[in-house]
Amino acid sequence: MAELTDNELAVIRGAAQGDTYAVIAARHGLHAKSVNKIAFRATRKLGGRNIAHAVLLACRAGILDGRPQRHGDHAGYEAHIRRGEDPKQCQEGCWAGERAYRNGRKNRNDRNREAA
């Protein structure tokens, strides 16, 4: 199997998240037609019949992690920790979600202490 370029990998990841080619194009500063061509090349490199099949093959090959990914909340933060990743580097806002979670717990604990 041929190695995927950065653009091909980005398109496969976007497709795995359910994004349309237009959304992927906007996110990466490309035209939708370019994303369509990139997806076609990536699909052929992976031996797929369509983009959904290419995503499945990428998961099977270990190129993508097929496990569900959570982001932007406490569970997403903890998932990064369990995978040995730095959640502060997550572009999806996991550290901000964790801060909001911690502040909510702190406020709840403060209210409970005041009520007691």
pLDDT of residue 30 exceeding 90, the answer is yes
Q: Which residue has the higher pLDDT, 2 or 34?
A: 34
pLDDT of residue 91 exceeding 80, the answer is no
The pLDDT assigned to 69 comes to: 67
pTM for this model (two decimals): 0.61
43 — pLDDT class (breaks 50, 70, 90): very high
Residue 56 is given by DSSP the state: H
Contacts of 22 (CB under 8 A, 6+ apart): 32, 35
68 — pLDDT class (breaks 50, 70, 90): low
First to last CA, the chain: 64
Instruction: Yes or no: say if 12 and 58 are a contact pair by the CB < 8 Å rule.
Output: yes
Dihedral class, residue 111 (left if φ above 0, else alpha if ψ from -120 to 50, else beta): alpha
- Segment 62-82 shows an average pLDDT of 79
